[in-house]
Amino acid sequence: MPAILGLLLVATVGGDVWAQGSAPRPRAATPAPKPPASDKAKDNDDKNAPVIVDADSLDSFQKQGLAIFKGNVIARQNNSVQYADKMEVYTDSKTDRVERVVSTGNIRIITRDCRMGTAERAEYYDAEQRVVLIGNARVWRDADVVTGERITIYIAEDRSVVEGGKQERVKAIFYQSGPGRPKSEIKFGPSGPICP
């Protein structure tokens, strides 16, 4: 989950475009500016940032290291957001670190750099820094889009693999750079990026 959400979780594209059922929260005081950190330090901070999950209900099975969030699930980390109907979070019983997250139903992911993704199912594997979008998977930024039955994103490698299904082949649309290329302006709200 730590990197969801870093996509997006990943390029995933783990904003409030589709926010459902969350009440606005008061803004925190603006912290003093910090000196720029190295990319490596920033990546480490991103992975260790807290994950905040809102849902209609939570079933926790501590002995099994499993938490099941249901109903309008919204998970946020480092200005990346994931929406789902159900999210199962599996943790290591010795370290309490998140090992794997499985989300199902109406998956929508928006990353802090406004990459977006949708799928029927999303699986995140922390040790491998890997996100898998399954079932009518779609990832886009601005007007560029890639679709397939399964999209696997290797976060640490900045690499992805798109697979077609029995009914559909992989499809991609990429626009050339220049004055006619659609572009997004990223704005940040209290709970993440607001993408056009």
Distances in whole angstroms, Cα of residue 122 to Cα of each of 135, 141, 144, 179: 9, 18, 21, 35
Task: Please give the pLDDT value at position 72.
Answer: 95
Check residue 71 and give left, alpha or beta (phi > 0: left; psi -120 to 50: alpha).
Answer: left
Distance CA 185, CA 133 (A): 25
117-160 pLDDT, tens digit per residue, is 999 999 999 889 889 999 999 998 888 899 999 999 888 888 88
**All domains of the chain in start order, with CATH:** 43-194 (2.60.450.10)
Question: What is the H or E stretch that residue 125 is in?
Answer: strand 116-125
Residue 37 pLDDT more than 80? no
Residue 182, both tokens:
């659609």
Cα→Cα distances 30→33, 137, 191, Å: 9, 37, 14
**What integer is the mean pLDDT of 154-170?**
87
Q: Helix, strand, or coil here: 14?
A: coil
The residues with which 70 forms a beta bridge, in sequence order, are 57, 86
pTM for the whole structure: 0.68
pLDDT grade, residue 182 (50/70/90)?
low
Separation of alpha carbons 60 and 77, rounded Å = 21
Is the model more confident about 22 or about 136?
136
31: three-class secondary structure by DSSP: coil
Distances from the Cα of 64 to the Cα of 39, 79, 87, 91, angstroms: 36, 30, 16, 8
Q: Say if residues 180 and 186 touch (Cβ distance below 8 Å).
A: no
The candidate with the shortest Cα–Cα distance to 49, out of 15, 93, 1, is: 1
